[in-house]
Amino acid sequence: MVRSAARLLPALALLIGCAGRGGAPGTPLIPNQPMTAPRALSWGIGLRGAIAATVPKGHLSRTYSKSFCEVREKVCPIFFPGERAYHTSLSKTLTWSGRTFTVGAAPSSALGNFTFNQTVSTNSSSKHAFQAAQDYTDWNWTDLLTVTSGSLPHGTLASFKVTIAVKPGAMKAPCNADSDPFLEFYFASNGMAGGSNFIYGSCVSGKFLFYVDTPTKPGTVLVEYVSGGVGQTLNIGGGGEAQNTLCTEVGCIPQSSTLDGTVTYTIVSTTKGASFKTASGYKY
């Protein structure tokens, strides 16, 4: 099974709007960008998403939908400067003709850390149209890393190892035609020599699998490397998304799907005598 964003309910798609990477104003997380001077908006986090459930109402439908964002703004920014952490918890159950549709999301975001917990469930076995339970979370963090050293000359090239580790929790993904779970995590920096790689979580041949870039490389740990000269400041950051969906356009079957776990980022020097400091003061 492959992820299909087109299956998102119109109400949920409208709520999440431009969620996702790329094209977001004020976001410095662009792989392979030139090594220019750091921007004024130097560090912060982003956390936004939505939950939605739909049931039939006559020949039409009735939908509950609610979005979340760490700031009270008309348009939720993907990146909010100066914020270190944010968490939220939302849940809702809709009923129709004795059938229930429950959606829930309890994500938390911090610099270098993300916790996801999203559950959708239904006891419906109807083939009636207009049935669905969905949730979505989009998450980002960004910071500035300045290469430092007490022994190496100014400009000496230094390398740093970045490890992205996913620790799955109570995962329960049916991986059938009526479920569409998906996870994605990445790291980006203008100090990277190549493009960003990704850790994905999705259904592959009927099983939910974590893998690096391609299903032929299963794993929950991704290692990247960034480099810069002593005294140089680099943009660093990470992000991801989680989507959980039940029911198809032709009905539902009784089942539940849960995506639960944590993602952590660690950065260590691989050059003797080199270290780093960050604009946020966080050590990673």
Residue of higher predicted confidence among 225 and 39: 225
Among the listed ranges 35-49, 79-93, 244-258, which one has the minimum average pLDDT value?
A: 35-49
The answer to whether 24 and 18 have CB atoms below 8 angstroms apart is yes
The per-residue pLDDT for range 47-60, each reduced to its tens digit, is 999 999 999 998 88
Q: Measured between alpha carbons, how far is 224 from 47 in angstroms, rounded to an integer? A: 23
The per-residue pLDDT for range 93-104, each reduced to its tens digit, is 999 999 999 999
Give bridge partners of residue 54 from the DSSP assignment. Answer: 63, 132
Return the pLDDT at 156.
Answer: 97
Q: Measured between alpha carbons, how far is 62 from 57 in angstroms, rounded to an integer? A: 6
**What percentage of the chain reaches a pLDDT higher than 90?**
71
**Which long-range CB contacts under 8 A does 86-90 form with residues at least 24 apart?**
86/45, 86/47, 86/110, 87/47, 87/115, 88/47, 90/51, 90/66
Domain assignments of the chain as residue spans, ordered by start: 5-20+39-278
Phi–psi pair at 7, nearest 5 degrees: -85, -5
**pTM for this model (two decimals):** 0.84
- State mean pLDDT over 246-273: 94
Q: Residue 252 gets which letter from DSSP?
A: -
Average pLDDT, the chain: 85
Residue 263 has pLDDT above 50, yes or no: yes
Helices (H) and strands (E) in the chain, counts: 1, 17
In this structure, the number of other CB atoms found within 10 A of the CB of residue 165 comes to 15
Q: Residue 138 gets which letter from DSSP?
A: E
Q: Measured between alpha carbons, how far is 29 from 25 in angstroms, rounded to an integer? A: 11
Tell me, what amino acid is at 284? Y
Return the pLDDT at 76.
Answer: 79
Among the listed ranges 40-49, 115-124, 164-173, which one has the minimum average pLDDT value?
A: 40-49
Residue of higher predicted confidence among 251 and 92: 92
Return the pLDDT at 79.
Answer: 76
**What percentage of the chain reaches a pLDDT higher than 70?**
84
Return the pLDDT at 41.
Answer: 60
Residue 181 has pLDDT above 50, yes or no: yes
Position 5 confidence tier, pLDDT thresholds 50, 70, 90: very low
How far, in Å, are 56, 104, 149, 273, 276 from residue 269 at the CA level? 56, 39, 11, 9, 8
Return the pLDDT at 77.
Answer: 73
Return the pLDDT at 35.
Answer: 36
Return the pLDDT at 194.
Answer: 80
